[in-house]
Amino acid sequence: MTEPAAMHDDGVVVVTHPLVQHKLTLMRERETPTGVFRHLARELSLLLGYEAMRDLPLETVEIDTPLEHMQARRLAGKKLCLISILRAGNGILDGLLDLVPSARVGYVGMYRDPETLEPVEYYLKLPEELDNRVSLVVDPMLATGHSAVAAIDRLKQAGCSNMVFVCLLAAPEGVARLRAAHPDVRIVTCAIDRGLDDHGYIRPGLGDAGDRLFGTR
């Protein structure tokens, strides 16, 4: 019996589609080069995006096809907003923009203090009318959850009220922290790994997503 393409559990969606799991395995491999890693991240973001946008509102409109007049469905309300947690979030952002080119885009600049593992904000640029938009907040890794919680705290202060957090990989610690702080924010990911090491990295993971996306160390 074929398993479902996504597993839903208490506000967390793990996308188990075979293509998603295959591409994630390629990303995990140490020898996967930067260009291939970046391309895979873009492809995975498209596949995650379909699940993350499953509940977007629709409206019925009248259109003319080449053959006849009909009633058809299209997205309703304000344009979707994609919010990247810099810098690594841009590796997912590009693929989602391929899927929804008309989406508005925002950025939250966060870096993790290497000593405390706490997030430090250094940049914020957001679209208008966030209270009337569905927003996908994107970051490849949900590790400790500190950056995700801090970013969503900041977005709620700015008026954002309807969010989905999209990541390639998550750790149980990060999922628990984000769900405890923001139970209204659904999480969509490819996998939940074993846990964190002493440096806050996801194990077995795929390494530092930002470094692998941009070829840095």
Active site residue 208: yes
Q: How confident is the model at residue 7 (pLDDT cuts 50, 70, 90)?
A: low
Active site residue 112: yes
Share of the chain above pLDDT 70, in %: 95
Please tell me which residue in 10, 116, 198, 217 is annotated as part of the active site.
Answer: 116
Can you give the pLDDT at residue 87?
A: 84
Q: What pTM did the predictor assign?
A: 0.90
Inter-residue contact 27 to 39 (CB < 8 Å) = no
List CB contacts of 77: < 8 A, sequence separation 6 or more.
Answer: 57, 132, 133, 134
Can you give the pLDDT at residue 151?
A: 93
Was 139 annotated as part of a binding site? yes
Can you give the pLDDT at residue 6?
A: 63
Q: How far apart are CA 16 and CA 191, in angstroms?
A: 8
Was 127 annotated as part of a binding site? no
Task: Give the Å distances, CA to CA, from 164 to 35, 63, 116.
Answer: 28, 31, 27
Please tell me which residue in 16, 112, 153, 154 is annotated as part of the active site.
Answer: 112
Was 53 annotated as part of a binding site? no
Can you give the pLDDT at residue 164?
A: 96
Q: How confident is the model at residue 210 (pLDDT cuts 50, 70, 90)?
A: confident
Q: How confident is the model at residue 154 (pLDDT cuts 50, 70, 90)?
A: very high
Was 186 annotated as part of a binding site? no
Active site residue 153: no
Was 143 annotated as part of a binding site? yes
Write the DSSP symbol of residue 130. G
196 residue type, one letter: L
Which CATH entry fits the domain spanning 6-57+72-204: 1.10.3720.10, 3.40.50.2020, 3.50.50.60, 3.30.499.10? 3.40.50.2020
Please tell me which residue in 211, 212, 216, 217 is annotated as part of the active site.
Answer: 211
Active site residue 211: yes
Four-point Cα dihedral 40, 7, 201, 110, nearest 10: 70
- The first and second tokens of residue 90, run together, are 């841009």
The rounded mean pLDDT for the chain is 91
The yes-or-no verdict on residue 217 having pLDDT over 80 is: no
Can you give the pLDDT at residue 120?
A: 81
> Which SS3 state, helix, strand or coil, does residue 198 take?
coil
pLDDT tens, position by position, 60-117: 999 999 999 999 999 988 889 999 998 888 989 989 999 999 999 999 997 777 777 6
Task: Give the Å distances, CA to CA, from 127 to 80, 107, 145, 153, 167.
Answer: 10, 9, 24, 16, 21
CA 22, 29, 188, 75 dihedral sign is negative
The yes-or-no verdict on residue 183 having pLDDT over 70 is: yes
Inter-residue contact 97 to 103 (CB < 8 Å) = yes
